[in-house]
Structure 1
Amino acid sequence: MEILIILIVAVVLLFAVKEIRRSLISRPMFGFFKRVLPPLSQTEREAMTAGDVWWDAELFRGRPDWHKFHQAKAPQFSEAEQAFIDNQLEQLLAMLDDFKIVQQDADLPKKVWDYLRKEKFFAMIIDKEYGGLDFSPAANSHIVSRIASRSISAAVTVMVPNSLGPGELLSHYGTSEQKNYWLPRLADGTDIPCFALTGPEAGSDAGAIPDAGIICKGEFEGEEVTGIRLNWDKRYITLSPVATVVGLAFKLYDPDGLIGDKEDIGITCALIPSDHPGVTTGDRHLPLNQAFMNGTTSGKDVFIPLDWIIGGADYAGKGWRMLMECLSAGRGISLPALAAATGHVTQRMTGAYAYVRQQFGLPIGKFEGVQEAMGRIGGTNYTVESMRRLTVAALVDGRSPSVITAMTKYHMTEMGRNMIEYAMDIHAGKGIQLGPKNYLGHNYMGNPISITVEGANILTRNLMIFGQGATRCHPYVLKEMEAASNPDEEEGLREFDELLIKHIGFAASNFFGSLWMGLTGARFNESPVSGATSRYYQQLTRMSRALALTADVAMLILGGDLKRKEMLSARLGDVLSHLYMASAVLKRYEDDGRQSGDFVYVDYAVQHHLHAIGEAFKGFFANFPNRWIAWSLRLAIFPLGMHYRKPSDELLQDIADSMMEPGVTRDRHTFLCYWKDDPKDMTGHMELAFVGMKEHEAVYKRLQKAERRGELEPNLAGDELVKAARKADLISADEAKSLKKVEQLRMRAIAVDQFAAGSIKDRTFAS
């Protein structure tokens, strides 16, 4: 007993007496922390501190406040936005013939280009005072998604000027003179912008940009001025072939000290007219059977004045931070919008096709193999739309959550890839034969584009999500890093000492909290709701606490090596991402008023995400280099084993059945999918056949029974089926008339396009 009291007193003195604690604990830990601190390049440091945090921080810290989370408002449209969506957007969608755009013209029709300019589709993010629409991220996302459901080429053309580029950079950083000149011209379509960042050997690593500008004296408009002489070579630049103004990222140098005493000024952004002397608009690329304009731009000995730097000379060298702060639009809105369109189209059209297409007297959607793929489409699409809404809500609220937008871009585009592949499997020949009736082919071929751009997905998952999340979302690590880098070591030690005590308490709480939740199955965790989803909130809180514990231990043990252990850090990023996605699903369910038809989708989605979290932890523990630490973590987090399971077969079948039922649930889940009430339309032919067959479901069942009784010849279709059924007195005259129309729609829906020999125009592209 005396020994225990002595130990307790010693521990209390060790931590409570500042001088003892600082000498015996904080100073050694401070030295250790400085040694293991991950080395950060300037671009990494700027990326790390760009933007802000939101719900991701609560999840990463292990203490999500679900009540506060539910208070976040779901995004809504203003009257002006809704009017634009109901009118200008619908008019544009009716003008788009994607087969003609891609396969025949390799470009949008002139009337579409003119309409986009006239109705300011390129000016959604530009303020009204400059002639723009000043739409919210919610409207931007909805509009791009809806266009993408019709034509990826048209959607990319619209989204680029409203994403990372001259319009956004000018709006945030431009001088008054730059805004007053350029923004009205961009708003009314007088100028078409592009932004040139990527080069042959500089993609994800912007610090490797070889394109350079040298500050020097030169002649501009007949006078000698201080300016920049530029050389660049860029590729993969969307809208470059038609752009009239080029936003350019380059490295800026001042060897003669003309504007300061620093030679290497850093990455800088400038705005240059494409017809300026020395600028060359190069050849066009052809991205995976899409028709949006994408190509090269280069410049040789191009001289520009300093005030062409976006933001003016004061923003020289600040380009990378500017780009990082504005990248949220591309990552959080534009590319996820393409994935959302994929989800809505695949769910609506696959549900229709699986009912219309029949084999052995049954819709193929009744066969379990097809139901498995259908269930995954429907369940995944529920997550995709939920994630889109939640991320947009953060952006609407004025936040710029860099970790959340990285998660959104990566996972939504990957889920888009999965859904289109499942849909292609189900559609088979209907999906692979291109033509005016194929609503999947161009989407399937274009899917890798969104996975590749705005940061390739491999980089985003393996470096960005956890790499940024570990420092930005953690309550202490970023502050400890700043303390460790303080040039005044004693002051840094004092700051570090105060943070360390809090960090130790935080880590101890996470350890014991994780163990308690693991032993009790999280049954004592608070839930903001009652009913069927309450257990999901409890389990997500448990996994949030487990992430906080595991991330702390990983950073402590591996230090700077964790940045290079990409497979390990990516798994922790997966845990954070699936926590975010499951949260989005639950919030959407509440925001929508707990619709009864949605529960099967919610059930599937959250079970899927919890299982993915468990698998990510399992992979982390199996590969963590310190086996004793890995075993201890696994025991603390899953003391009774990992019991999260994949969604059941029954759930998949229930979702498949739901997808084949017209009504409010189907409409709410697929509202971004555009279709026209026209049997010759790309999607209309399938939709009309589906609705017609459902309306005649009782008639078809009657005929199937007659066929089994031998009263009707098997395998009849179209007019032959109608005539035989009428002759056998199985249907009335009125039924025969309406069934004939439905059979015509059905036969058109299951048909694929075919072309007479020589009718497909050959197109030759110079390489």
Structure 2
Amino acid sequence: MIFAILLIVLIGALAYWRAPILAWTIGFAAWLAALQFGVSITVSPIVWGVFVVIAVVLNLPPLRRAVFTGPVFGVFKKITPAMSQTEQEAINAGTVWWDSDLFSGKPDWNKLLSFPDPKLTPEEQAFLDGPTEELCKLVDDWKITHEQMDLPEEVWSFIKSNGFLGMIIKKKYGGVEFSNYAHAKVVTKIATRGGSAAVTVMVPNSLGPGELLQHYGTEAQKDYYLPRLAKGLEIPCFALTSPYAGSDAGAIPDYGYVCRGSYTDPRSGERHENVLGVRVSWEKRWITLAPVATILGLAFKMYDPDHLLGSKEDIGITCALVPTEHEGVQIGRRHFPGGAAFMNGPTWGKDVFIPLDWIIGGKEYAGQGWRMLVECLSVGRCISLPAMSVASGKVASYTTGAYARIRDQFGLPIGKFEGVDEAMARIGGYTYQMEAAQDLALTGLDMGEKPSVLSAVIKYHNTERMRKTLNDAMDVHGGRTVVLGPRNYLARAYQAIPIAITVEGANILTRSMIIYGQGAIRCHPFVLREMKAAMASDAKEFDDAITGHIGFVVSNVFRSLWLGLTGAKLAGAPRGGETARYYKQVTRFSSAFALLSDMAMFSLGGSLKFREKLSARLGDMLSNLYIATACLKRFERDGAPKEDLAVLKWAVESNLHDIQTAMDGFLANLPNRALAFMLRRVIFPWGLTLKAPSDRIGTLVARSLMQPGGTRDRLTRGMFVSKDEQDPVGVLGPALHAVLETEPVEQKLRKLTREGKLCALTNAERLAEALDDGQINQVEFDAVTRARKLKRDVIMVDDFDKSLRHHDETLLERYVF
């Protein structure tokens, strides 16, 4: 009995710590020897013989390949689904980073906590405090989206002349060459003031001609275009999406064929005759900045039917730069994105001849367009839309927190009603998650990584959290944000939600196919190695990978069971105190996720990529593991402030609960029911034990939004807040302070009224009566009067004449009560 228990302990320990094959061999040999010589139990020579044979086979790679992994390799090559060129290029795009640790089942916490904290340089901080602040002051989002339907000329000029279009361009070309972190913070700040202005700034700095040129352009292309882009002399757009190919960008119908032709260069006016080039036809839709662009980045499929470039006929997706003044290029019409007024529209052309040197990178990069796009997209998806999502969270946190404390019903601030505080907890918690998730990814970018999987995670989850946050903020404000007008600081962002949900990879596609579809191959420690070995017929590499993979699966079975049985209480954590249990639970679920991932691939094989509901749940597991660790990293980066513990707990506990829910849903729907039954007993031996954040924690988060303090300041840092009390957001801060300061006087007035000592009919008359009777002094009277005026400014909505054209700015004159 003792030796049987020792055997179980030995297997568990070797598996838990992922011991190499030699350690397993020594361990079993020692156990057998102890069994025979320690307690004189005879071990059959047959047992020893079997053990020796297995040990020799496993420890001698050539023999192991001949006996075991070789036959497996033959089967693997037959069943591994073929990947298209576009799939291979997407898989190979970017790098893996912290996401590979989460896929390992054994995250290296010291690695996470040693990542440098993102910081702004003095130059970057000065840009945020100076030009970015000034730009925000120039932005009137109501006028832009309702009256002018465009940025005013002074805003366009300010953006061009102050380097906003050249944030990613290197200084040697005239750009400001900001870090990815600074780039994101500039977009975030502008977006807290107006989405149309933010989109106008972010698009030239995201996926488009500027980024593609810096990575792939010829020296001549860089020298000509980059200085002009940096100074705003050129307005770029990039035309990828077609009416017939949205998320499936690889299926674009736009094409060009190699031929000889003539053209006039619109930049120099020179005529060029009988040159080698491409005759291109395209129809693109949803192209931001297209109506005002001067330079068109164009993606199309390139063919060489006459073999003018070589033996290959289908060259592949190609990217070119075409001046919009070039003959045949059609631009100028606009789309009308809901809730925004940034320039967006179609472009088209028929048989437009362009020379080969207009291809980005020259003719050597013909056919390399898809690889170029997916590599750059892995960076851009970490920045622009996630930054706008963070901005929405900040605005929702700042405005809803203040409004819920200022506005009262039934004698209480509305934020103290539990239904409202539940919504506010989500606003604060999601805002914390969104910024933490993006900041950690930006750290990776500025370290030189291109985390393609994490970029999809952040794009999807930040924009979805933006949607939920704005929904909750609108609910709390009620009628205050139903009525459109200059005072409504939420409605335009609310209306524009579908834009972020749709672009740069539609969210449904991103969740169900991209996050896990790419992550399972890129981040898994062995799968990509096995696939590459199969494609290269490299039996030696496959042997090493599959052997490691088997050990990896065995390890995760024992780790998941042990961590589940103990509730991960015995797992290691880099920090003590209240956050230790969160690190331990992430370790537990990382092992369980790795196990489920392998079992999904094992039981479903190539059909897994068509089981989108299952792969979506696996993607949810990976995503929530990442966001939880990002929140823990943020908490440490902020100095582990105790007052932020509530919002940290809400954020991480909701992530962990979402992981548990995704795992439960995955196991409930895994087709192999016997396998699902066994996995459930391994991963959840005591059932589903984790709970969503408690009501008490949610209330603490809500209260932190409703009063000035460190948590509220950290959640809303980097947000533009006007200092003008006539501004609908600018008035919230003074109003909140005024209401809090005068609350004792207001309580006193209510008490006097209940006691019959103040008999006037209206609040205004009772206030005057209290002053006349000496119940309050002049200072208190003036403070209450000011607080009530500011409170009214916060609550009131706009009204117009019957034509809805002329807005009434004299609401205070109708102040009766």
What is the TM-score with the length of structure 2 in the denominator?
Answer: 0.91
Which residue of the partner structure matches residue 179 of structure 1? 222
Task: Give the 3-state SS of the residue equivalent to 2:791 in structure 1.
Answer: helix
Aligned partner of 2:96 in structure 1 is: 53
Distance 1:33 1:359, change over 3 A: same
Following TM superposition, by how much is the alpha carbon of 1:328 offset from its aligned partner in structure 2, in angstroms?
2.5
Contact 2:398 2:712 in 1 (8 A): yes
Name the residue aligned to 1:321: 371
Cα distance in 2 between the residues matched to 1:226 and 1:647: 65
Match of 1:563 in 2: 609
- In the alignment, which of 771, 786, 811 is matched to residue 726 of structure 1? 771
Residue 730 of structure 1, CA deviation: 3.1
SS in 2 for 1:269: strand
Paired position in structure 1 for 2:651: 605
For 1:713 and 1:29, how far apart are their aligned partners in 2? Answer: 92
After superposition, the Cα gap between the structure-2 partners of 1:14 and 1:223, relative to the gap in structure 1 and judged at 3 Å, is same
Q: How does 1:374-453 map to 2 (within 5 A)?
A: 374-453=424-503
* Residues 568 and 623 in structure 1, CA contact (< 8 A), matched pair in contact too: yes
Offset at residue 70 of structure 1 (A):
0.3
Q: What residue identity is the alignment partner of 1:633?
A: L
Indicate if the aligned counterparts of 1:250 and 1:268 stay in contact, CA closer than 8 A: yes
Cα shift at 1:320 = 0.5
Cα distance between partner residues in 2 of 1:300 and 1:591: 54
The one-letter amino acid of 2:146's match is Q
> What CA deviation, in whole Å up to 9, does each residue of 1:25-55 have, x standing for no partner?
2133223322332332211110001000110
- Cα deviation for residue 759 of structure 1 reads 4.7
Partner Cα separation in structure 2 for residue 326 and residue 470 of structure 1: 21
Separation in 2, partners of 1:152, 1:584: 26
* Change over 3 Å in CA distance of 1:653–1:724 after alignment to 2: farther
Name the SS for the 1:696 alignment partner. Answer: helix
Find the residue that maps to 2:382 and give its secondary structure. Answer: helix
More deviation, 543-552/229-238? 543-552
1:165 and 2:204 are equivalent in the alignment: no
Determine whether 1:126 maps to 2:169.
yes
Match of 2:23 in 1: none
Correspondences of 1:536-575 after superposition (within 5 Å): 536-575=582-621
Moved more, 502-511 or 153-162: 502-511
1:504, CA displacement in angstroms? 1.1
**Matched residue, 1:747:** 792
Residue identity matched to 1:739:
V
Let me know the Cα RMSD of the aligned residues: 1.6
| 3-state SS of 1:83 partner | helix
Deviation for aligned residue 1:519: 1.4
Contact 1:52 1:402 in 2 (8 A): yes
What amino acid is the match of 1:731?
I
Q: Note if contact 1:144-1:337 (Cα within 8 Å) is conserved in structure 2.
A: yes
* Structure 2 counterpart of 1:594, from 640, 647, 662: 640
The equivalent of 1:499 in structure 2 is 545
The separation in 2 between residues aligned to 1:305 and 1:641, in whole angstroms, is: 65
What amino acid is aligned across from residue 141 of structure 2 in structure 1? D
**Does the Cα contact within 8 Å between 2:304 and 2:315 map onto a contact in 1?**
yes
Tell me what 2:155 maps to: 112
Separation in 1, partners of 2:768, 2:615: 66
Matching of residue 188 in structure 1 with residue 234 in structure 2: no
Shift of the 167–720 alpha-carbon distance from structure 1 to 2, 3 Å rule, reads farther
Deviates more, 1:309-318 or 1:733-742: 733-742
1:760 corresponds to which residue?
A: 805
Q: Tell me: CA distance 1:749–1:216, structure 2 relative to 1, closer, same or farther (3 Å).
A: same
CA deviation vs aligned residue, 1:346-379 (integer Å, no higher than 9, x gap): 0110010001111111100111111111111111
Q: Which runs of 5+ in 1 are unaligned?
A: 763-767
- Residue 653 of structure 1 corresponds to 699
Q: Which residue of 1 aligns with 2:506?
A: 456
Q: Determine if the alignment matches structure 1 residue 736 to structure 2 residue 736.
A: no
**AA paired with 1:742?**
A
Residues 1:273 and 2:318 aligned together: no
SS at match of 2:315: strand
Cα 1:612–1:720 change in 2 (3 A) is: same
State the alpha-carbon separation in 2 of the partners of residues 715 and 591 from structure 1. 54
CA distance in 2, matches of 1:478, 1:353: 52
Amino acid corresponding to residue 352 of structure 2 in structure 1: V
Gap change, CA 1:18 and 1:54, over 3 Å in 2: closer
1:622 to 644, 652, 668: 668
Q: After TM superposition, what 4+ stretches of structure 1 lie above 6 angstroms from structure 2? A: none
Identity of aligned residues (%): 52
Tell whether the 8 Å contact from 1:38 to 1:563 is kept in structure 2 after alignment: no
Q: Distance in 2 between matches of 1:712 and 1:721?
A: 6
Counterpart of 1:128 in structure 2: which amino acid?
K
Q: Is the 8 A contact 1:104 1:761 kept in 2?
A: no
| Pairwise CA distance, 1:10 | 4.6
Q: Report the 3-state secondary structure (helix = DSSP H, G, I; strand = E; otherwise coil) of the residue aligned with 1:559.
A: helix
* Distance (Å, rounded) in 1 between the aligned partners of 2:408 and 2:525: 57
Q: Which residue in the other structure is 2:743 paired with? A: 697
Aligned to 1:148: 191
Greater Rg over alpha carbons, structure: 2
| Greater mean deviation of Cα atoms: 750-759 or 115-124 | 750-759
Shift of 1:757: 1.8
Q: Deviations over 1:237-263 (max 9, x none)?
A: 000000000000110111111111110
**Are 1:102 and 2:145 matched, yes or no?**
yes
User: Which letter does structure 2 place at the counterpart of 1:185?
Assistant: R
Distance of 2:83 and 2:52 partners within structure 1: 41
Q: Secondary structure at the match of 1:202?
A: coil
**Distance in 2 between the 1:470 and 1:402 partners?**
12
Distance in 2 of aligned mates of 1:760 and 1:721: 38
Secondary structure in structure 2 of the residue aligned to 1:295: strand
Instruction: Report the counterpart of residue 688 of structure 1 in structure 2.
Output: 734
Aligned equivalent of 2:306:
256
Please name the residue that 2:244 is paired with: 201
Q: Distance in 2 between matches of 1:721 and 1:616?
A: 58
Can you list the C-alpha shifts for 1:420-439, whole angstroms capped at 9, x where unaligned?
00000110111111111111
Q: Following the alignment from structure 2 to structure 1, what is the Cα–Cα distance between the partners of residues 760 and 253?
A: 70
Which AA in structure 2 matches 1:704?
R
8 Å contact from structure 1 (residues 361, 704) kept in 2: no
| 1:513 has 2:559 as partner | yes
Q: Secondary structure at the match of 1:271?
A: strand
**How many residues are aligned here?**
757
* DSSP 3-state at the match of 1:485: helix
Question: Aligned with 1:545: secondary structure?
Answer: helix
- Distance in 2 (CA, whole Å) between partners of 1:450 and 1:351 is 24
Alignment match, 2:568: 522
1:18-97 → structure 2 map (5 Å cutoff): 18=61, 20-97=63-140
Amino acid in structure 2 at the alignment position of 1:432: V
Range moving further from structure 2, 661-670 or 571-580: 661-670
Q: Counterpart of 1:365 in 2: which secondary structure?
A: helix
Which residue of structure 2 aligns with residue 637 of structure 1?
683
- Structure 2 counterpart of 1:647, one-letter code: P
Read off the aligned partner of 1:601 and give its amino acid letter. Answer: V
> What is the rounded CA distance, in whole Å, between the counterparts of 2:772 and 2:656 in structure 1?
57
Equivalence for 1:367: 417
Q: SS in structure 2 opposite 1:91? A: helix
Letter matched to residue 662 of structure 2: A
* TM-score, reference length from structure 1: 0.97
Query: Alignment partner of 1:742: what SS?
Result: helix
The residue that corresponds to 2:37 in the other structure is none
d(CA) in 2 for partners of 1:329 and 1:285? 27
Q: CA offset at residue 19 of structure 1? A: 5.1
Give 1:716 shift: 4.3
Q: Report if aligned partners of 2:192, 2:720 keep a CA contact under 8 Å in 1.
A: yes
Once residues 237 and 458 of structure 1 are traced to their aligned partners in structure 2, the CA distance between those partners, rounded to angstroms, is: 21
Deviations 1:424-482 (A, max 9, x none): 01101111111111110001001111110000001111111111111111111111101
Alpha-carbon distance in 2 for matches of 1:577, 1:265: 36
Q: What SS does the aligned partner of 2:556 have?
A: helix
The amino acid across from 1:600 in the alignment is A
Q: Is the 8 A contact 1:677 1:688 kept in 2?
A: no
